[in-house]
Amino acid sequence: MYDLITSHLLRALEPSQHYLYKKSKYKGSRLISEMEMIEKTDYIASKVENMVILRDIVKKFGKVVASDHVNMEIKRNEFFSLLGPSGSGKTTLLRIIAGLEKPDSGIVILDGRDVTNLPPYKRNIGMVFQHLALFPHMTVYDNIAYGLKIRKLSNSEVKKRVYDMLELVKMPPEIFANRKPGQLSGGQQQRVAIARALVTEPAVLLLDEPLGALDLKIRQHMMLELKRIQRTVGTTFIYVTHDQGEALVMSDRIAVIREGRVEQVGTPSEVYEKPKTKFVASFIGEANFIDGIVKEEGISTSIGPIKVSRTHNLLGKRVVVSIRPERIRIGEEARFLENSYEGKIREVVYKGDTLIVMVTLDGIGLKVSIPSTHPESRRLDINTRTWVGWNAGDEAGVFEV
Ligand SMILES: Nc1ncnc2c1ncn2[C@@H]1O[C@H](COP(=O)(O)OP(=O)(O)O)[C@@H](O)[C@H]1O
Ligand SMILES: [Mg+2]
């Protein structure tokens, strides 16, 4: 069985490992036990499946621990985001993958190779940053062609590739090829930066807050454009942002980073619907938090008992319950749900598509969000009493404190 798997996967090994692996197998050496074989096979399989693997990365700047034992696996063809507040260590991880920063300890595997000690230019990586560095005195064409000319490609090959890239980022060559960066809008400059980074066909494209300097409308448009470009070329994208909206819209998977540590890795819906920690619940989207203690019959809180589907093994523990504003129902329809509480409407804020209703009950405030087309919306008057509630299913998260 291993023969079948390994012969298919051996290509991912470095030649030296290849040799050792064969030697141990064919000469009947007992050095590699069956267990080690399985581990090795898993290891190779992981190298084949993943474009980037970070193993136990630690990076300190003086007393600041910028990367705190980070483990991460980024799949081939994946749009993967590193999401976290400013200073959480996102850029440091990106720079470690690029080879611009050397980790104090840990291993970086890129495209099946251990690149931990390789300089950036030997890593086959493209980069795009917020404060981009297009060459201001060069035309768009020459900016994109730069990396290809260094590689000594023929003029016709360079031209073909540059034109293909301009088409990919939707900047018709006949209009833009001869412009200088100063004659482009911010969004167009970022398109050129992306084209320039992709033209050499890197294994991975690293993007560090590339849309941060753009206006909201252009940023929203560029999010969809980046996603389209990534799907078209199939290159692994690793995208750094502090903006949860960007991460949710574009990513196949998101790693939520806090103080140098990975809090959770998951698809956008996993990190949003099933946050593993209070931090993730508060950083991605909005949530109401209610303190309580886990009892047999539910969670005892100041607003009354809250029933949840599972309390894991938290009996007797102090916890915080999190519930998203859009998961809470309001008015008469909330009255007979498994968790139902009476409160007073303090504030109603019209936001176009939604209404935000602040309700107070026994001293705590709950934020509720309903579609503004909801029939109940016409009955929500400030200082009147109402019901809020939700069912015990998967609506609420429970985190130990
Ligand atoms: N070259 C450096 N020298 C000293 N401290 C640094 C350096 N680079 C980053 N740091 C610190 O490491 C932490 C993580 O920084 P960074 O990776 O840039 O975070 P992010 O990109 O998430 O905002 C911060 O506390 C930052 O001040
Ligand atoms: Mg940063």
At 110, the pLDDT band (50, 70, 90 cuts) reads very high
In short, whether 82's Cβ falls inside 6 Å of ligand 1 is no
- Closest ligand relative to 92 C-alpha: 1
pLDDT in tens, 351-399: 999 999 999 998 799 999 999 999 888 889 999 999 999 999 878 899 9
- For atom 26 of ligand 1, the residue with the nearest CA is 87
- Structure token pair of residue 114: 């251990």
Beta bridge partners of 387: 342
The pLDDT of residue 178:
96
Report how many helices (DSSP H) and strands (DSSP E) the chain contains, helices first.
12, 20
pLDDT in tens, 29-39: 444 555 566 66
Query: Is it the case that residue 25 has pLDDT exceeding 70?
Result: no
Contacts 24+ apart (CB under 8 A), 353-357: 354/326, 355/380, 356/325, 357/330
Calpha distance 12→27 (Å, rounded): 22
pLDDT in tens, 220-252: 999 999 999 999 999 999 999 999 999 999 999
Q: What percent of the chain has pLDDT over 70?
A: 89
- What one-character DSSP code corresponds to residue 277? S
The pLDDT of residue 38:
64
What is the atom index within ligand 1 of the atom nearest the CA of 86?
23
Quick one: average pLDDT of 215-224?
Answer: 92
CA–centroid distance, 3 to ligand 1, in Å, is 46
What is the atom index within ligand 1 of the atom nearest the CA of 208?
21
Mutational pocket test of ligand 1: of 64, 67, 83, 102, the residue with most ligand atoms within 8 Å of the beta carbon: 64
In short, whether 70's Cβ falls inside 6 Å of ligand 1 is no
Calpha distance 192→128 (Å, rounded): 10
Ligand 2 is an ion; its neighbours by CB within 5 Å are 91
What interhelical angle do 155-168 and 216-233 show, nearest 10? 130
CA–centroid distance, 241 to ligand 2, in Å, is 8
The residues near 153 (Cβ < 8 Å, ≥ 6 apart) are 161
Query: Is it the case that residue 4 has pLDDT exceeding 70?
Result: no
- What one-character DSSP code corresponds to residue 112? T
The pLDDT of residue 36:
65
- Give every strand in the sheet of 288-295, ordered side by side: 304-306, 298-301, 288-295, 318-323, 396-400
Q: Which CATH number is associated with domain 51-276? A: 3.40.50.300
In short, whether 66's Cβ falls inside 6 Å of ligand 1 is yes
- For atom 25 of ligand 1, the residue with the nearest CA is 87
Among the listed ranges 16-25, 43-52, 223-232, which one has the minimum average pLDDT value?
Answer: 16-25
pLDDT in tens, 306-350: 999 877 688 999 999 999 999 999 999 999 999 999 999 999 999
In short, whether 90's Cβ falls inside 6 Å of ligand 1 is yes
Q: What percent of the chain has pLDDT over 90?
A: 76
Do the strands 79-83 and 253-258 form a parallel or antiparallel pair, or are they unpaired?
Answer: parallel
Instruction: Give the count of alpha carbons within 13 A of 281, CB side only.
Output: 22
In short, whether 91's Cβ falls inside 6 Å of ligand 1 is yes
Beta bridge partners of 256: 83, 264
pLDDT in tens, 174-184: 999 999 999 99
Q: Rounded to two decimals, what is the model's pTM?
A: 0.86
- Domain map (residue ranges) of the chain: 2-49, 51-276, 286-400
Among the listed ranges 14-23, 206-215, 295-304, which one has the minimum average pLDDT value?
Answer: 14-23
Q: Tell the burial category of 190 from Cβ atoms under 10 Å away from its Cβ (0-12, 13-18, 19+).
A: buried
Q: What angle do CA 339, 344, 347 make, to 5 degrees?
A: 115
In short, whether 181's Cβ falls inside 6 Å of ligand 1 is no
Quick one: average pLDDT of 201-216?
Answer: 92
Query: Is it the case that residue 263 has pLDDT exceeding 50?
Result: yes
At 132, the pLDDT band (50, 70, 90 cuts) reads low
Please state, as a whole number, how many other Cβ atoms lie within 10 Å of the Cβ of residue 121.
Answer: 9
What is the atom index within ligand 1 of the atom nearest the CA of 84?
22
Q: Which CATH number is associated with domain 286-400? A: 2.40.50.100
Tokens 């705590």 locate to 364
At 46, the pLDDT band (50, 70, 90 cuts) reads confident
What is the atom index within ligand 1 of the atom nearest the CA of 94?
17
Q: Detail the DSSP E strand segments found in 302-391.
A: 304-306, 318-323, 329-330, 339-350, 354-361, 364-371, 385-390
In short, whether 258's Cβ falls inside 6 Å of ligand 1 is no
In short, whether 87's Cβ falls inside 6 Å of ligand 1 is yes
Q: What angle do CA 245, 250, 252 make, to 5 degrees?
A: 120
